[in-house]
Amino acid sequence: MVGVVSYGAYIPIWRMSRELMGKGLSGERSVAGKDEDSLTMAFAAAMDCISEIDRCTVDGVFFASTTSPFQEKSAAATIAAALDLRSDVFVADFAGSLKAGTSALKAALNIVKAGSARQILVTAADCRLGAPGSICEQTFGDGAAALLIGNEIAADLEAEHSVFDEIYDVWRRDIDLYVNLWEDRYIYSCGYLKVVKEAVTGLMSRTGVNTKDVAKVVFSVPDPRRGVELARNLNFDPKNQLQNPLMDVVGNTGAAQPLMLFAAALEESGPGDRIVLASYGSGSDAFMFKVTEGVKRLKERKRGVKAYIARKKMLRDYITFLKWRKLIKIPEPRIDMSVSYPSAVAIWRERNRIYPLHGVKCKVCDTIQYPPQRVCIKCQSKDNFEEVRLCDKKGKLFSYSFDPLRENVPVGLINLEGGGRILLELTDVDAEELKIDLPVELTFRRVDLRREDGMYVYFWKATQIRT
């Protein structure tokens, strides 16, 4: 059988109360940090998903998003590199529609079913922009989910069914910064309610399973009321069967939403449960999964959706959100932090020490050193090292500092468990939370370079461990 081996999620720590966007609005939405984008969030979800998996058994990495940081350059390849996977792994990027996440899922399921890969890691993330003040800005949220598809399973695939739909309901042209919407009554009656119903009805008729025998239905949900209406139209009980769309705590995470909600459903499921999953975006992909005994062992070792919802920090003001998304132009600080372009050559040459954060261990004196050295700092042995991956090590903050000239972004020396020391920026922490010996873990983030530097570069930062 083919199905879901493991799941993972990532929700950025930052939330914005909708009150900040408009008086009387309720709930909050997640906001990607200044140094986060769909690539870094997908990577974080991937780490959550495969934390206990032997990485040698992953044969493919998919990345699905409508907001890849690159129009041309594979984010899946960056994710595979940072995961330290073999070079003969198949990578692919899925884009173009809010059902990109389930498109990637469907492709993965079928590739594994066909026997051309053992396991494929499907990641999906979105960080969509609605125009300031728009309903989109208020209802969108940023986040990611990951599913590992394979044969040793937590949820078996029982059936799948897809439909496509040509419609201008929600779109963004190549020249648009913000998502466009047509009138919502049109979207729901001619698009969402009709198309998802068609996909799920097709799915149910393929399986012959009665709607009463489904434990949970997971839909893409742009608007919670419409999700309820859709469930009702399909003969599901919205109260007991419909997965909470998390609109009041996270928001609509776009291409990641169906996978994230599916992960949330798995977290709460038990062996034998049937879960129906259906996305929406220029059509709909519908799936039926049956949860197996395997789901139990997963629950203990994941952060998953629940834990990520629980850990949060509130944005102080709306302008911070605009600044982080670079929606308002702030003059560059007088001290130019980026005095020259990053060199693509150097990034390529140093890819092992950058993406999976490889250091070296001296074969003579065992000293772990970062970055990789030719000559040992302790015993001066030359070219006698083995590479070691440091990005999944936890550590302790050895020293730290921050200054207003650098916008109080803390920088510190981290001593890693098992040896090795690295100087990193700290992220998602307030300066007041810092102290010597603070337990930290490493997180993959985008480096804040000037826009005119022409590329995004990614590197590791340290953050306080929050369970």
Partner 1 sequence: MAGVRDKVAIIGMGCTKFDEHWDKSVNDLVVDACYEAFDDAGVEPKDIQAAWWSTAWSGELGIKLAYPLKLNFIPVTRIENRCASGHNAFIDACYAVACGAFDLVLVCGAEKLKDTGLPIPGVSDPVELYTSRVNPRFLAVSAYAQLALRYFHHYGIPIEKGKRILAKIAVKNHYNGSMNPKAQFQRKITLEEALNAPIIAWPLGLYDCCGITDGAAAAIITRADLAKNYRDDYVLVKGVGLSCGMYHPQVQDDWSVTYVRENVAASKMAYNEAGIKDPRRDFDLAIVHDCFTIHELVIYEDFGFSPRGKAKEDVEAGTFELKGELPVNTDGGLKCFGHPVGASGLRTMYEVYKQFQGKAGQRQVEIRNQRGITHTCGGNPLESHAAGVVILGLRGV
Shortest distance in whole angstroms from residue 371 CB to partner 1 = 6
With 0-12 CB in 10 A as exposed, 13-18 as middle and 19+ as buried, what is 183?
Answer: exposed
Q: Nearer Cβ to partner 1, position 135 or 411?
A: 411
Give me the half-sphere count of Cα atoms (radius 13 Å) on the Cβ side of residue 370: 24
The contacts found for 109-114 with CB under 8 angstroms, 24 or more apart, are: 109/2, 109/3, 109/149, 109/157, 109/160, 109/287, 111/60, 112/2, 112/149, 112/150, 112/151, 113/2, 113/157
Q: Nearer Cβ to partner 1, position 250 or 376?
A: 376
Element (H, E) at 143: strand 143-150
Q: Answer for the pair 48, 303: CB distance below 8 angstroms, yes or no.
A: yes
Q: Are strands 120-126 and 143-150 parallel, antiparallel or unpaired?
A: antiparallel
Shortest distance in whole angstroms from residue 382 CB to partner 1 = 14
Shortest distance in whole angstroms from residue 380 CB to partner 1 = 10
Q: Nearer Cβ to partner 1, position 319 or 405?
A: 405
Shortest distance in whole angstroms from residue 322 CB to partner 1 = 24
Q: Nearer Cβ to partner 1, position 15 or 393?
A: 393
Shortest distance in whole angstroms from residue 78 CB to partner 1 = 13
Q: Nearer Cβ to partner 1, position 251 or 412?
A: 412
Q: Nearer Cβ to partner 1, position 69 or 238?
A: 69
Q: Answer for the pair 424, 399: CB distance below 8 angstroms, yes or no.
A: no
Nearest to 204 by CA among 241, 170, 173: 241
Q: Nearer Cβ to partner 1, position 328 or 423?
A: 423
Q: Nearer Cβ to partner 1, position 314 or 405?
A: 405
Q: Which residues contact 379 (CB under 8 A, 6 or more apart)?
A: 362, 364, 365, 367
Q: Which residues bind partner 1 (CB under 8 A)?
A: 334-343, 345-347, 349-350, 354, 367-371, 373, 377-378, 398-406, 411-413, 415-416, 419-425, 431, 436, 447, 449, 457-459
Shortest distance in whole angstroms from residue 363 CB to partner 1 = 17
**Whole-number Å distance between alpha carbons of 125 and 37:** 9
Shortest distance in whole angstroms from residue 314 CB to partner 1 = 24
Element (H, E) at 92: strand 90-94
Nearest to 3 by CA among 256, 241, 264, 275: 275
Query: Could you tell me the CA-to-CA distances from 66 to 37, 97, 277, 302 in Å, in that order?
Result: 12, 6, 20, 26
Shortest distance in whole angstroms from residue 456 CB to partner 1 = 11
**Whole-number Å distance between alpha carbons of 374 and 40:** 30
The neighbouring-strand residues paired with 91 are 61
